[in-house]
Amino acid sequence: MKRKLSTMEQKGQLLDDLIRAVQETDESCAVQMINLVRSHASLEEIRAFLDDIVVRDRIERTPDVINALAEVQKLDEIPRETSRPRLHDKTLSEMVLFRVPAIPWTTVTSDADFVSHLLSLWFTWSHPYLNWIDRDLFIRDMQSGNPGATFCSPFLVNVILADACVSGHWRSG
């Protein structure tokens, strides 16, 4: 009988906690709780979710987190440079590590120096972290100018060139 009473008290407490959480949390969290109930989650799963909300709420209100958020908001208010300096031809020739043709690999530009420069920058800055192609085989096939090559394709070249442009490594001061 005592165990039955204890179980009933736990379920009552869970219901109280669930109602309080729906009333006091933001809308997205309340929707998650309702969806959890509608999906026939077990009482243990609902309790775990509620406990997670309580822990997350305590973490979100700590002084360290509040101070860090204030610092980030200050950084967001700092004006940023919107103009990008133009790259000079001399800098292009100095930084090129790989000489490759632009044609037949891309139709965006026929400037082999510019393509070589972007490719060199990509292999310098992105490839060490995104090492998903063999650089030497890729460069060999790109230099061959054969669009049917095994380790180089126009699509792959354009992906690399686009990433090099988006990454902004081509900018200079």
Residue 141: the pLDDT is 93
Domain boundary among 52, 77, 102: 77
Per the prediction, the chain carries an average pLDDT of 78
Quick one: pLDDT band at residue 42, thresholds 50, 70, 90? confident
- Residues 84 and 168: their CA atoms lie apart, in Å, by 9
Residue 83 falls inside a structural domain: no
What are the residue ranges of helices labelled H in the chain? 2-24, 27-38, 43-60, 63-77, 89-95, 112-125, 135-144, 154-167
Question: Is 97 found in the same domain as 73?
Answer: no
Domain boundary among 48, 77, 106: 77
pTM (2 decimals)?
0.45
Indicate the Cα dihedral angle 144, 150, 152, 154, nearest 10°. Answer: 100
Residue 23 falls inside a structural domain: yes
How many structural domains is the chain composed of? 2
Domain hosting 24: range is 2-77
Residue 82 falls inside a structural domain: no
SS3 of residue 173 by DSSP: coil
Tokens of 90: 């001399």
Tokens of 151: 């380790």
**What mean pLDDT is predicted for residues 111-120?**
89
Quick one: pLDDT band at residue 153, thresholds 50, 70, 90? very high
Question: Is 99 found in the same domain as 46?
Answer: no
| pLDDT of 115 higher than 80 | yes
